[in-house]
Amino acid sequence: MTLDRSEKALDAESAGQWRRLCSIDELVPGAGVTAWCRGEQIALFLLLAGSERNVYALANGDPFSGANVIGRGIVGDIAAQPVVASPLYKQHFRLADGRCIESPEIALRTWPVRLRDGWVEIDMDS
Partner 1 sequence: MNQDKNLSVPVDRRPSLIVIGNGMVGHHCVERLIELGAHHHHAISVFGEERHPAYDRVHLSEYFSGRDAASLALGEAGLYADHGVVLHLGEKVEKIDRTTREVVTLRGRYRFDRLVLATGSYPFVPAIPGSEGDARLVYRTLDDLDMIRAAAANARRGVVVGGGLLGLEAANALKRLGLEAHVVEFAPRLMPVQLDAEGGAALAARIEALGVGVHLSKATEAIVAGENGHRYRMRFADGTALDTDLVVFSAGIRPQDGLARDCGLEIAARGGVVVNDHCASSDPAIYAIGECASWRDRVFGLVAPGYRMARLVAERLAGQPSELFTGADMSTKLKLLGVDVGSIGDAHGASPGARSYRFVDERSASYRRLVVSEDGKRVLGAVLVGDNSFYDTLLQYVANAIAAPLAPEALILPAGEGAPALGIDALPDSATICSCHNVSKGTIRAAVDQGCLDLASLKRETRASTGCGGCSALLKQAFEAELAARGMAVDASLCEHFSHTRQALFDLVRLEGIEDFDTLMRRHGNGGLGCDICKPAVASILASNWNRPILDPALAPLQDTNDAFMANMQKDGTYSVVPRIAGGEITPDKLIVLGEVAKKYDLYTKITGGQRIDMFGAELHQLPSIWAELIAAGFETGHAYGKSTRTVKSCVGSSWCRYGVQDSVAMALRLEHRYKGLRSPHKLKFAVSGCTRECAEAQSKDIGVIATERGWNLYVCGNGGMRPRHAELFATDLDDETLVRYIDRLLMFYVRTADRLQRTSVWRENLDGGLDYLKSVVIDDCLGVCAELERQMALVVERYECEWANALSDPEKLKRFRTFVNQTQGDPGLRYVRERGQRRPARADEIPSVVSEESA
The residues that touch partner 1, with contacts defined as CB under 8 A, are: 21-22, 26, 28-31, 33-39, 41, 44, 47, 61-62, 65-69, 72-80, 82-83, 85, 87-88, 90, 92
Region at 80 (left for phi over 0; alpha for psi -120 to 50; beta for the rest)? left
CA distances from 4 to 66, 76, 87 (A): 33, 23, 30
- Contact of 96 with 81, CB cutoff 8 Å: yes
The C-alpha atoms of residue 61 and residue 83 are separated, in whole angstroms, by 15
Nearer to partner 1, 110 or 120 (CB): 120
Nearer to partner 1, 44 or 110 (CB): 44
User: Shortest approach of partner 1 to residue 6 CB, angstroms?
Assistant: 26
Virtual torsion, Cα 104, 122, 51, 99, nearest 10 deg? 0
User: Shortest approach of partner 1 to residue 19 CB, angstroms?
Assistant: 10
User: Shortest approach of partner 1 to residue 43 CB, angstroms?
Assistant: 11
User: Shortest approach of partner 1 to residue 34 CB, angstroms?
Assistant: 6
- Contact of 44 with 34, CB cutoff 8 Å: yes
Nearer to partner 1, 8 or 34 (CB): 34
Nearer to partner 1, 67 or 107 (CB): 67
